[in-house]
Structure formats: C-alpha cells, structure tokens
Amino acid sequence: MGLMTFLRNRAGFILVGAIGFAIVAFLVGDAINVGKPFWAASQKVVGSVDGEEISIEEFGTKVDQNLQQFKQQYGGSANPQMTAMAVENAWNGELANILLSKEYQRLGLDVSSEELFDLYSGKNPSPLIVQYFGNPQTGQVDRAAVINSLKQQASNPQLKQQWDLLTTEIKKQSLQQKYGNLLKNSVYVTSLEANDEYQNRNKLANFNYVSLAYASITDASVKPTESDYSDYYNAHKSMFDNPAETRSFDYVSFSVSPTKEDTAAVKARVDKLAEDFRVSKSDSLFAAINSDVKVPFTYMGKGKLDPQLDSAVFALPAGSFYGPVFSGNSYKMVKVADVRFSPDSVKASHILIDAAKMGGADKAVKFADSLKTLVQNGASFSALAKMYSVDGSKDKGGELGTFARGQMVPEFENAAFNGKTGDLKVVTSQFGVHLIKIENQIGSSKVAKLAYIEKSLLPSTKTQDAAYKKATNFLAEVKGDNFSEVAKKKGYTVGVADRITGSQGYAPGLDNPRQLIRDAFGAEKGDVLAEVYKMDNAYVVAHVTDIKPKGVLPLESVKKDIEPLVINAVKAKMLIEKINKAGAGNLNQLAQKLGTTVMPVQNIVFANPIVPGAAQENKLIGSVFGSPVGKLSKPVEGESAVYVFTVNGFTNPAPLGNTYKQKEAMLQAIGQRLLGSAFAALQEKSEIKDNRVKFY
C-alpha cells in the first residue's frame, strides 16, 4: 500500500516527470513548427504530428499537471510566464511521445514481460521503482513491498490504475534508454579523426597580421546595390530558415503606476490600519482580514521575512510591534505574538486514523487515545501503525523521517516541534486524527509567532481610468500607416516586440502579453489590434508590423535585418581593393603603405579562434592554419575587418600517445549531442501543426 498513498499525492506528476525526462534527454529546442492559419483548425485540436491529432482535452490536463509541478518547484501562484512554460513543456512532451513511439515501432523496440518484471524487482530496477520503493538513505529497493503491492492489484482497482500508469512510464523510460543506446552504438571515431582533433586543440600558430577595420569607412558613405543584397542572401541562405511563424508589433504603453496622490492616500490608510493593529485583541484574525498577503499565524525561523523586517523583528521580545515599513512596493507591519527557542528539525512517526471510517472525529480521537495507552504500556508503535494507519508510512511502521518547519500541516507541526523527544501526542488535522511519536529533535534556534500584514501600493481607480482613457483615445486615432507618427506627435514612446512566436509567454517591455500575442496571430500585417490590453501596470495599444512565415524567408522579408551585414560586405570589397592596390611584397611594406601597424599573435590554437583585440575571427584563424610559413597571404574578409597575415611558424604537439582515450572523449562529446540531433531530425522530417496560440 506504500505505492498507493505515494501515488495518491503524486500520480498527477508521474507523466509530467517522464515528459520532463524525455525533454531533458533530447534537449528539445526551438525546432517546433507552427501550422497554417490556426482559425482554420478544429476547435478541439491543439495540434497534430503527421496527422495524429492532439486534443485540447488531453493536452489541457497535461498543461495543468506541468503548471502544478512548476508551482511546487518555484513556489507562489501561477503567472503568465509560468503558464507559458507549462504549455511549452506539455507540447514538447507530446512531440516526444508521438515521434518516439513511431520510431520505436519502426525499429522494433519493445519491453518484454520478463524485462518489465526485472525493472520492477530485479538487480537494476527502474529509477521510478527506486523513487517509490527505495530507502532514502541507502537507495535499496524493498522488493518484498513491490511484489506485495503488485499482488494487491487484483482486489484494489485504484491501486491497479496507479500501477498501470506507473508501468506505462517505466516502459517509456526503458524504450528511451534502448533508443539512446542504439544511437550511441551507431557512431564511431576513426584514428585519423582522433589525431585531427588532438592537433586542432594542441598545435600552436604564431603569426603577424595587418588589418583594415570596417569601422574605418562610415556606413553613410556605402550604398549597397540590389546585387549586393542578393549576393549576400544567396551566400548565407541557411541563416534565413525560420523554424516557426512569427509576428512583430509596435506598441504604446500607458502606465497605471500610483501617482503621488495615490501614494499619500495609501500611506494614510496604512497608518490608520497600524493604529488599529497595535490595539487589536485578536492579532491573527485582524491580520488575516486586512493583509493582502496571507502568512500563516505560526512559528517561523529567521530568514523567512523581507530582509528589511527580518533582523529587526527577530530582535524584538514578545508583544512588540514593528512597522509599517515600505519595501518592494508594499507596506509591511508585524506584531510579535510569542518568541521561543525550538528544534531546527524533528524526526517523528505517526498513525493516521480516518475519522469517517471510525464514525466521526470524536470516536477517532478516542481510538487514538487507546492506541497511545497501548504504546505507553509497552506495545510496539511500529506494529500498531502497520495494523491501523491509513497513511502510506504504515509499511515503514509509521516513520516519516526528519523534517523542518513548514513541511507539515500546522496542527502536526505544532505538536512535533512544541513537544519533546519521546512524547506521544494526539492531534486532528485536515487528513484525520494523528497519533504522533516524537523520535528525536535536532538543533535549537529562535523562532517567533508573528501576526503579519502587508498592504500593496496600488494605483487608484482615478489613475487607472485616466490611463485607460488615454489608451482608448489613442486607439481611436491611429491606423496602420500612422501609428508611429501619431505616437510621436503625442510624445508617446513606441516599444518594439520583434519576432514573437505564437506560444511565447513574454515580450520585451510587456509583463502579461499572452492575449495580445494571440490576437496578433489572428491579424494581418499593418493591422492595429482592436483591443486595449491590460498589463500588470499599464494599458497597451499595439500594431502588427511584420509577419514572418515558417520556412526560408524571402530576401525582401530579411532585407532590413541584413542591411548592416551587407554594408560590411561592401566595405570588405572596398578594403580588399585598397590592399591589392598597395601592392606590397611583405607585411611591413603593406603596413607602411596602408598607414597601419603590424600586430603579432602568439600561441593560437585552431579550436579556439580568438584573436586578442579582434575577438573571434574564424576565417582568419582557419586561413592561418592552412597557410605555409613566411608567405604573405591574400586578404581575408573577417567579422570586423579585412586581414592580411604572414605565418611565422607552428609548434607541433608531442605525438598522440593514447588514441583510445582521445576517441572515448570525442565519443562522449558526440553522445551528448546525439539525442538532441536525432530528435531535431525527427521533427524536421515530420509534418507538425501547432495551434496552441488558439487556446493559450
């Protein structure tokens, strides 16, 4: 039954964990397709992979599971960025599940019943089995507990359902491991490749160079022709492969930050609240009613509060009042109800009794008291836990391990931390009635019971209405062709959000842009979006400026983006012509004729093409290692300048003594990239339609 209770709390996350495992393993990146117009897709289909549809019902459940996991991981409530992460994680998981399942079937990969049983209870059990049935200290799996839980499926439908879910994930992990091993065994490194890699990382080059920087020619003096643009575009076409459809938009933001008047009004209300709080007879109730942020009325250790409050509050005696203090856009005040020294952590066991099955809380408490008496008279707490507890810890005699404050419900925590080692306590919580045995208490530090109030500094309704009115007036006045002009005339700053994908949860300068992004993907280039969008601290009006479809973008679509690069390419031609006209026989003569100096470079390796003072120059370093010693090179078009060089000499490393070790290192590096590359290839070869922007 240990699995049953564990899964009752975590069943919703098993699938998420497996998906996360697949995503990390395959380094899923940006190679996700966005399909044709989302409004033409089925109302219930969030996407498809090679015709296999992903329904919004199933996908939505997985998004919710991801979101819950992120909330547990990062804390706090869901926000737009966290939701976008959950959607992206769920989508990547769907791609992984569908594409990999097809690969497994195509390759004939499977998990036999014998293999599956070995993953349950063999010498090398599944990591999931280790997680659920393993000893946290030793990592050893309780195989008897696994077998016992498997046998109980026949009489426990809920447990069977949980085992079915767990089995599915164990199979997925096993198949993924087999697939990964198959890929790794399909690659190898030759002795020639090993020696080349060794040379590239250890052979040293010394050379001198002369350079003419592109910055020596002003951009304004360069007028690229259409031929210049097309030549550059054709030579670098792979740069313009757009993996996902994007939208770009300009926007004007109308702030709704608190005014001086708003600040003064809030401060007056906070001061009045502080006066009432000081004399309140029911601190916890008063704080619960009046605080914007709810903090449990329980003991807490130093370091849990805002830094501006923390040190001061924990130096005060019981009955003290502190605040109001303004920090992080809110006023905070604290009343110290009690101060004491308390254990840092507690080791405890418990027996959980289901009040409903006992006929009510009163009867459950009486039963717990009777068990307490039995233990006091010498009965085994562990044996009673195995017989009567309804919690998953029963299989371990009720052992809960060691825990710190904040990990248990308040009723349980108070009993465990306020008692002393050896105590038996009966308490009631939302889960039922507990008989707690305090096994050990570790450490001791000061804790305080605090009544806490936090009031946020928010804009008044008047301030919000004024900002909204400005935004609606602006929206009524602008059109697609005069957006920037009208904004400039009114003195508004125009923000730019460039190349936003349909699933993106953020945009530069905007804190909650999902609805805006969704609407932008339903608009045409040049459209002013018809809505005034409410962000956390502003109202926003937006205008779609560009649409870039998936695939290789045409020249006209990228012309503005590549203009600086094309200008540098034209400058390179001009500088190369200048160098050729100089007609020098050696580097010193060339430097003299060009009015520049010769720069020496020592101990450069091919694998690290960084030139001191000139940043990364791949073409230059590649040319150096392919040139003879002492010969003046032809001009090399670099990233920031045109270079001419002369190699002074090379220092060869000692012969490679251990080819096997070098091959192993290279294979390990290849293996780290292999799964990601394979998964990207599967996506590239598949027809993936992504309609997420329609739903999220």
* CA–CA dist 509, 512 (Å, integer): 10
- The answer as to whether 574 is a domain residue is yes
- Reported confidence tier of residue 274, pLDDT bands at 50, 70, 90: very high
- Which residues, at least 6 apart from 553, have a Cβ–Cβ distance to it below 8 Å? 240, 241, 242
Q: What is the pLDDT of residues 188-245, one digit of tens each?
A: 999 999 999 999 999 999 999 999 999 999 999 999 999 999 999 999 998 999 988 9
* CA–CA dist 430, 411 (Å, integer): 9
- The answer as to whether 438 is a domain residue is yes
* 96/179 same-domain check: yes
Listed residue (278, 274, 330) closest to 305, CA to CA: 330
* CA–CA dist 151, 153 (Å, integer): 5
- Reported confidence tier of residue 41, pLDDT bands at 50, 70, 90: very low
- The answer as to whether 537 is a domain residue is yes
Which of residues 414, 442, 470 is at a domain's end? Answer: 442
Would you say residue 135 has pLDDT above 80?
no
- The answer as to whether 473 is a domain residue is yes
* CA–CA dist 511, 508 (Å, integer): 8
* CA–CA dist 456, 119 (Å, integer): 53
- Reported confidence tier of residue 38, pLDDT bands at 50, 70, 90: very low
Residue range 329-346: average pLDDT? 92
* 21/131 same-domain check: yes
**DSSP state for residue 585 in the 8-state scheme:** S
Listed residue (276, 279, 297, 275) closest to 288, CA to CA: 297
- Reported confidence tier of residue 32, pLDDT bands at 50, 70, 90: very low
- The answer as to whether 191 is a domain residue is no
- 3-state class of 9 per DSSP? helix
**Residue 278: Cβ-neighbour burial (10 angstroms; 0-12, 13-18, 19+):** exposed
- The answer as to whether 286 is a domain residue is yes
* 365/334 same-domain check: no
Listing DSSP states for 189-221 in one string gives --HHHHHHHHHHHH-EEEEEEEEEEGGGS-GGG
pLDDT value at residue 42: 55
pLDDT value at residue 137: 66
* CA–CA dist 684, 32 (Å, integer): 9
* 228/312 same-domain check: no
> Cβ of 235: how many Cβ atoms within 10 Å?
10
Mean pLDDT of the chain: 88
* 417/467 same-domain check: no
What CATH number is attached to the domain comprising 645? 3.10.50
pLDDT value at residue 84: 85
* CA–CA dist 209, 109 (Å, integer): 57
- The answer as to whether 663 is a domain residue is no
pLDDT value at residue 358: 87
Q: What is the pLDDT of residues 500-534, one digit of tens each?
A: 998 888 899 998 899 999 999 999 999 999 999 99
pLDDT value at residue 297: 86
Would you say residue 631 has pLDDT above 80?
yes
* 420/489 same-domain check: no
- The answer as to whether 634 is a domain residue is yes
Residue range 251-266: average pLDDT? 94
Which of residues 413, 442, 471 is at a domain's end? Answer: 442
* 153/299 same-domain check: no
Q: What is the pLDDT of residues 384-435, one digit of tens each?
A: 999 999 888 888 899 999 998 888 888 899 899 989 999 999 999 988 999 9
pLDDT value at residue 6: 38
* 61/171 same-domain check: yes
pLDDT value at residue 14: 38
Number of domains in the chain: 5
What CATH number is attached to the domain comprising 353? 3.10.50.40
* CA–CA dist 347, 369 (Å, integer): 21
- Reported confidence tier of residue 20, pLDDT bands at 50, 70, 90: very low
* 500/583 same-domain check: no
* 506/564 same-domain check: no
* 235/279 same-domain check: no
**Strand ranges across the sheet with 688-690:** 52-55, 45-49, 688-690
Read off the tokens for 583.
């007609």
- The residue assigned the tokens 């940006």 is 30
Q: What is the pLDDT of residues 106-118, one digit of tens each?
A: 999 999 999 999 9
Which of residues 442, 473, 501 is at a domain's end? Answer: 442
* 520/484 same-domain check: yes
Q: What is the pLDDT of residues 68-101, one digit of tens each?
A: 888 877 776 777 778 888 999 999 989 999 999 9
Residue 492 structural domain: 246-257+460-548
**Strand ranges across the sheet with 445-456:** 299-301, 445-456, 330-342, 321-327
Q: Give the whole-number percent of the chain exceeding pLDDT 70.
A: 93
